Amino acid sequence: MSLPGSYLDGRSPVPRPVMLERDHHQLVFTDGVKTHRYPAGQVDFETGLPGLPDKLRLPDGGVIEVAQQHRCRHMAGGPPPWERLLAWLHGGWTILVVLLIATVAAVWFAYRDGLPWLAAKVVRQTPVAMEKQMAEQTMALLNKTVNLRPSGLSDARQRQLQGLLDQVKPANSPYHYELTLVDSADIGPNAFALPGGHVLMTDQLVRAAKSDDEIMAVLAHEAGHVENRHGLRSVVQYGGVSLAITLLTGDSTSMLALAPALLADMKYSRDFEREADHFAFTQLEARHVSPCVLGQFLQRMSGRDDGSANLLASHPSTEERSHPNGAQCPAGG
């Protein structure tokens, strides 16, 4: 049993036709000048890609090319399993379609559940002090970009509102809650939670509320953001999506790459709002306040045309909020 091959010694670019033979545990061939013998165990097989010859790599840097139709690889027991798997994956169009579907499903799953789960895990390991530092940076940026004036509300009223915030926080919270009231026509009636327990609320919102229950509902919603550490989680999740896009396309600055990142961010932000709502519903119910108040108040705000869209951008639908924890709320507000 012998195979025709082409021998290159690695020292000169002159191919020599040879006949390969197996003599017990040795590979034997004659290049016309001398007979070469190599222990079969020291010869590396390399299966050729489509259209390319198989290669037998010799320990001294030489190589023997054998045309694929001789299936020299298969005489030595065939390629290793992973090589066979790769050849199978590259073998046809059907498997390519299956692989495509599997990949799309995997990406969808990673985006919907994988990344949020990972972010929550990472965030659990992060000290509260780091969140405070993040909040300071955000606050500095806010002060630079929008017009914030000190609140026009009386100290007593401010203390009362701080009391509302302290009421809706869970008893075992690691956060120290601090409410800052500001007067800002730029922002309009709105409230933000910064990571670390700092809640910012505008006078405009306080004035728009018909009762303290409504303010408490909003504060409970913001406390939900703080307790679930949404600030940090959104940073990690946005970073994860951007990194994935950068690695895939080699570019994270172009509009084409930015669009999916922004879309993903909006979806995550809706999920956070839903989580904060859920937290607020639970807290309100525990204080015998109807959870419907939150949805009604927000709906009233969204009907107004004075920049209150901030609070509602990328939020769950009002429809969803009118069914807190599955309950049916009375219409109107």
Interface contacts to other proteins, rule CB under 8 A: 8-15, 48-52, 55, 61-63, 86, 89-90, 93, 96, 99-100, 102-103, 106-107, 235, 239, 242-243, 246-248
Q: What's the min distance (Å) between Cβ of 167 and other proteins?
A: 34
How far CA 312 is from CA of 180, 226, 274, 300, in Å, comes to 21, 18, 12, 11
Q: What's the min distance (Å) between Cβ of 8 and other proteins?
A: 4
Closest to other proteins by CB, 104 vs 185, is 104
What DSSP character marks residue 254? S
Closest to other proteins by CB, 140 vs 243, is 243
Closest to other proteins by CB, 15 vs 307, is 15
Q: How far apart are CA 30 and CA 285, in angstroms?
A: 90
Q: What's the min distance (Å) between Cβ of 249 and other proteins?
A: 10
In the block, tokens 């299956």 appear at 98
Q: What's the min distance (Å) between Cβ of 230 and other proteins?
A: 17
What DSSP character marks residue 192? E
Q: How far apart are CA 274 and CA 224, in angstroms?
A: 10
Q: How far apart are CA 137 and CA 170, in angstroms?
A: 26
**Beta strand ranges found along the chain (DSSP E):** 2-8, 16-23, 26-30, 35-39, 44-46, 54-57, 63-66, 149-150, 178-183, 191-194, 198-202
Q: What's the min distance (Å) between Cβ of 61 and other proteins?
A: 7
Secondary structure of 167-219 in HEC code, one letter for each residue: HHCCCCCCCCCEEEEEECCCCCCCEEEECCCEEEEEHHHHHHCCCHHHHHHHH
Closest to other proteins by CB, 137 vs 160, is 137
Sign of dihedral through CA atoms 236, 237, 240, 243? negative
What DSSP character marks residue 227? H
What DSSP character marks residue 113? I
Q: What's the min distance (Å) between Cβ of 136 and other proteins?
A: 13
Closest to other proteins by CB, 239 vs 307, is 239
Closest CA to 272 of 193, 180, 175: 193
Closest to other proteins by CB, 268 vs 279, is 268
Closest to other proteins by CB, 114 vs 316, is 114
Q: What's the min distance (Å) between Cβ of 75 and other proteins?
A: 22
